[in-house]
């Protein structure tokens, strides 16, 4: 008899964004004339940068002729892209990362979801609270948690991110082995300083723990004192894996390209306590279960690093940041506690009421879609996340409607 992986049965209801989509669909069906403004899921809305469009067309033309056609590429990504990434995103900032430590993929969601496969099922896992649900759900599926109870899974260590600690978690009281960190944070938009990040790297080194550092939003950082990569912090190469994405940087949510950095020095431990290179495990997984990113898409990602590409993605991010700052200001003016929106496209707003109720209120009264904080964990119960991913005009309209709805 073919029996299922019964850890799947522990998963709570459906995936957060699917839930939201259902409510929005229902609202739209009953209000067909209402123009909904979506500031929820964190999906970009502006066209791809010209540099990427040109690179895509050119690569498609290559695929049209036998002589320049490309079949299977390296699973880890083409050297032209891995080298551009290593040079521009790391070496230029003094972070010692080589091209062969870069693994190109089709999404940071996939990578942050798949990475846990490399580790034992009985390790202790720490996640931020609020948390991007993928970190949690993939560990539930793999059997690293108990059942869901009181708003959390048993066996997981939740690191509270609240106003009290400036939305940067404190070190855990009990030892943990695998630590998910995300800065600029999704969903709060909070950032971490170099000194705070050093504390975590030191903790990981002392406890032989591993940090999974999700930096999918680093392109929004506008203060050069803030670290864009964990590898800007001394000692991180041995204890950290970093995730990056072109989704938010360059508008690739529908085009699909991301990458994961696994330094050769990064270690985990075998059953006999001997160190094993995490890079070798990830490389084996990548080569066995993945077949590389579409060639034209890799050329489009490469174009992000051209001078015009760099200028264009900077402009894109600046636009979304302007929107987020506007949202934050408007909510602050109404007396709400807010974080994010300065080095992040997200604003995290304490609504002082149940977050799904606040979600429904904004949808019903203002026709604006946000993301209810409860979907991200206990610490999000009274919060909502609003994203700057839209046009400035729509963001202005949304805030005018929200102001009217909340009066």
Site for a copy of itself in 376-395 (CB under 8 A): 391
Among 161, 233, 293, 395, binds a copy of itself (CB under 8 A): 293
- With CB under 8 A, what is the number of residues at the site for a copy of itself? 84
Q: Which stretch binds a copy of itself (CB under 8 A): 83-91, 186-194, 271-279, 377-385?
A: 271-279
Task: Provide the minimum distance between the beta carbon of 185 and a copy of itself in the complex, in angstroms, as a whole number.
Answer: 20
Structure tokens at 7: 């850890």
Among 199, 294, 329, 403, binds a copy of itself (CB under 8 A): 294
Per-residue contact flags (x/-) with a copy of itself for residues 39 to 78, judged by CB under 8 A:
--x-xxxxxx-x--x--xx--xx-xxxx--xxxxx-----
Computed on alpha carbons and rounded to an integer, the radius of gyration of the chain in Å comes to 21
Residue 320 interacts with a copy of itself (CB under 8 A): yes or no = no
Among 28, 138, 310, 332, binds a copy of itself (CB under 8 A): 138
Residue 149 interacts with a copy of itself (CB under 8 A): yes or no = no
Q: Which stretch binds a copy of itself (CB under 8 A): 101-109, 180-188, 320-328, 395-403?
A: 101-109
User: Which residues ranging from 151 to 210 are in contact with a copy of itself (CB under 8 A)?
Assistant: 177-178, 207-210
> Beta partners for 244?
259
Q: Contact at 8 Å (CB) between 75 and 81?
A: no
Task: Provide the minimum distance between the beta carbon of 376 and a copy of itself in the complex, in angstroms, as a whole number.
Answer: 15
Residue 316 interacts with a copy of itself (CB under 8 A): yes or no = no
Sequential DSSP letters for 31-59: -TT---EE-SS----SPPPHHHHHHHHHH
CA distance 175 to 157: 10
Q: What are phi and psi of 243, to 5 degrees?
A: -115, 135
Bridge-based pairing state of the strands 178-182 and 125-129: parallel
Task: Provide the minimum distance between the beta carbon of 238 and a copy of itself in the complex, in angstroms, as a whole number.
Answer: 11
Give Cβ neighbours of residue 387 (< 8 Å, ≥ 6 apart).
39, 40, 41, 42, 324, 345, 346, 347, 371
For 377, the 3-state DSSP assignment is coil
Residue 23 interacts with a copy of itself (CB under 8 A): yes or no = no
Q: Which stretch binds a copy of itself (CB under 8 A): 107-115, 159-167, 330-338, 364-372?
A: 107-115
Distances (CA, A) of 351 to 253, 355, 368, 380, 406: 29, 7, 15, 10, 11
Among 145, 196, 198, 255, binds a copy of itself (CB under 8 A): 255
Q: Which stretch binds a copy of itself (CB under 8 A): 222-230, 253-261, 312-320, 399-407?
A: 253-261
Task: Provide the minimum distance between the beta carbon of 333 and a copy of itself in the complex, in angstroms, as a whole number.
Answer: 29
- Residue 120: CB atoms within 10 A of its CB come to 12
Q: Which stretch binds a copy of itself (CB under 8 A): 24-32, 120-128, 312-320, 357-365?
A: 120-128
Among 149, 150, 174, 271, binds a copy of itself (CB under 8 A): 271
Among 32, 94, 270, 307, binds a copy of itself (CB under 8 A): 270
Per-residue contact flags (x/-) with a copy of itself for residues 2 to 21, judged by CB under 8 A:
xxxxx-xx-x--xx--x---
CA distance 247 to 323: 18
Among 39, 84, 97, 134, binds a copy of itself (CB under 8 A): 134
With b for 16 or more beta-carbon neighbours within 10 A and e for fewer, the 55-94 pattern comes to: bbeebeeeeeeeeeeeeebebbbbeebbbbbbeebbeeee
Q: Which stretch binds a copy of itself (CB under 8 A): 165-173, 248-256, 338-346, 350-358?
A: 248-256
Residue 370 interacts with a copy of itself (CB under 8 A): yes or no = no
Among 126, 168, 219, 268, binds a copy of itself (CB under 8 A): 268
CA distance 81 to 92: 15
Among 36, 96, 100, 113, binds a copy of itself (CB under 8 A): 113
Task: Provide the minimum distance between the beta carbon of 290 and a copy of itself in the complex, in angstroms, as a whole number.
Answer: 6
Residue 74, CA atoms < 13 Å, CB-side half-sphere: 13
With b for 16 or more beta-carbon neighbours within 10 A and e for fewer, the 19-47 pattern comes to: ebeebbeebeeeeeeeeebbbbbbebbee
Query: With respect to a copy of itself, which residue has the nearer C-beta, 178 or 338?
Result: 178
CA distance 267 to 275: 6
Task: Provide the minimum distance between the beta carbon of 207 and a copy of itself in the complex, in angstroms, as a whole number.
Answer: 8
């Amino acid at each position: 008899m073919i029996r299922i992986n019964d850890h799947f049965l522990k998963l709570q209801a459906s995936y957060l964004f699917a839930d939201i989509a259902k409510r929005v669909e229902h609202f739209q069906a009953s209000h067909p004339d209402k123009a909904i403004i979506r500031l929820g899921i964190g999906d970009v809305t502006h066209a791809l940068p010209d540099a990427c469009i040109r690179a895509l067309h050119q690569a498609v033309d290559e695929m049209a002729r036998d002589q320049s056609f490309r079949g299977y590429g390296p699973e880890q990504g083409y050297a032209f892209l891995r080298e551009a990434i290593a040079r521009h995103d790391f070496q230029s900032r003094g972070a010692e990362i080589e091209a062969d430590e870069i693994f190109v993929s089709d999404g940071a969601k996939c990578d942050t979801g798949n990475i846990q496969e490399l580790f034992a099922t009985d390790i202790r896992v720490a996640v931020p609270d609020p948390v991007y649900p993928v970190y949690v759900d993939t560990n539930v599926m793999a059997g690293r948690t108990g059942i869901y109870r009181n708003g959390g899974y048993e066996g997981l260590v939740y690191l509270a991110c609240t106003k009290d600690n400036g939305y940067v978690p404190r070190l855990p009281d009990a030892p943990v082995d695998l630590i998910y960190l995300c800065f600029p944070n999704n969903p709060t938009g909070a950032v971490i300083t170099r000194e705070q990040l050093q504390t975590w790297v030191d903790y990981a080194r002392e406890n032989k723990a591993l940090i999974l550092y999700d930096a999918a939003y680093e392109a929004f950082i506008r203060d050069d004192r803030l670290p864009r990569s964990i590898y800007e912090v001394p000692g991180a190469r041995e204890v950290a894996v970093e995730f990056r994405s072109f989704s938010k940087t360059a508008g690739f949510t529908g085009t699909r390209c991301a990458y994961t950095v696994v330094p050769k020095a990064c270690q985990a431990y075998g059953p006999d306590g001997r160190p094993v290179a995490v890079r070798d495990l990830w490389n084996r997984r990548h080569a066995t279960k993945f077949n590389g990113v579409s060639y034209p898409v890799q050329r489009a990602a490469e174009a992000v690093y051209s001078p015009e590409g760099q200028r264009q993605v900077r402009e894109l991010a600046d636009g979304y940041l302007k929107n987020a700052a506007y949202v934050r200001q408007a909510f602050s003016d109404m007396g709400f506690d807010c974080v994010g929106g300065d080095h992040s496209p997200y604003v995290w707003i304490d609504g002082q009421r149940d977050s799904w109720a606040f979600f429904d209120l904004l949808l019903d009264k203002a026709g604006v879609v946000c993301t209810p904080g409860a979907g991200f964990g206990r610490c999000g119960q009274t919060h909502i996340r609003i994203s700057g991913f839209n046009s400035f005009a729509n963001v202005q309209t949304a805030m005018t409607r929200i102001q009217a709805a909340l009066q």
